[in-house]
Amino acid sequence: MINFEESALNFLRQNIRDIPDFPKPGIIFKDITPLLKNPDTLNLTSRLLAKPFLNKNVDLIVGLESRGFLFGTTLAMDLHAGFVPIRKPNKLPGETVSATYQLEYGTDSVEIHADSIIKGNRVVIHDDLIATGGTASAATKLVEKLGGEVIGYSFILELTFLGGMKNLKEGALINTLLKY
């Protein structure tokens, strides 16, 4: 028998669109804009993202640029937490701290406002998708640099064949809705 949660996740899966060869040849881009457009999947996605973190005393959701801002904000509201953005270099107006991470060829970096986290804050890192885990791992470093505690990670999608989970903090609660 299919339970409610399984059919809900199947419904979400039907609202993810594969765009081949975007942004470059060989990449299958997982497009979540249909999830946002449909009011039922918009609501269901935010409910399912929040569920495992209810009653976990989350202070802040840290959302990763830019698709992590979309459901990161609804997640923060559902958990009665605040929201803090992590952005690409030179986008945040205030004083920042940054972390650099490895790409297949070269490096990339991300930044957070230096005053955005108070020591001891309980933080959940959110993005739309985890691939290699490089971005989430750099985000973990930034949160910890500012004295925050990463208690969890939240993703709508995981590309399991890229093994990103091994780059996340051990012992943290990980919620991924759909695995590919």
Q: Minimal CA–CA distance to 64: which of 178, 179, 164? A: 164
Q: How far is the CB of 93 from ligand AMP (least distance, A)?
A: 22
- Which member of 6, 13, 104, 111 is catalytic? 104
**Interface characters, 152-171, with ligand AMP (x: CB under 6 A):** ------------x-------
Taking CB under 6 A as the criterion, the residue among 16, 30, 45, 150 binding ligand AMP is 30
Spatial distance between the Cα atoms of 142 and 156, rounded to a whole number of angstroms: 22
Spatial distance between the Cα atoms of 85 and 61, rounded to a whole number of angstroms: 8
Binding positions for ligand AMP, 45-84, rule CB under 6 A? 64, 67
Residue 104: active-site member: yes
The tokens for 154 are 């939240």
Sign of the four-CA dihedral 61, 62, 64, 70: positive
Q: How far is the CB of 2 from ligand AMP (least distance, A)?
A: 27
Residue 144: active-site member: no
| Helical ranges in the chain per DSSP H | 4-13, 33-37, 39-50, 70-78, 134-145
Sign of the four-CA dihedral 158, 161, 167, 170: positive
- Which member of 67, 87, 111, 158 is catalytic? 67
Taking CB under 6 A as the criterion, the residue among 63, 85, 134, 152 binding ligand AMP is 134
Closer CB to ligand AMP, 57 or 66, in the complex:
66
- Catalytic center residues: 67, 104
Residues near ligand AMP (CB under 6 A) are 27-30, 64, 67, 127-135, 164
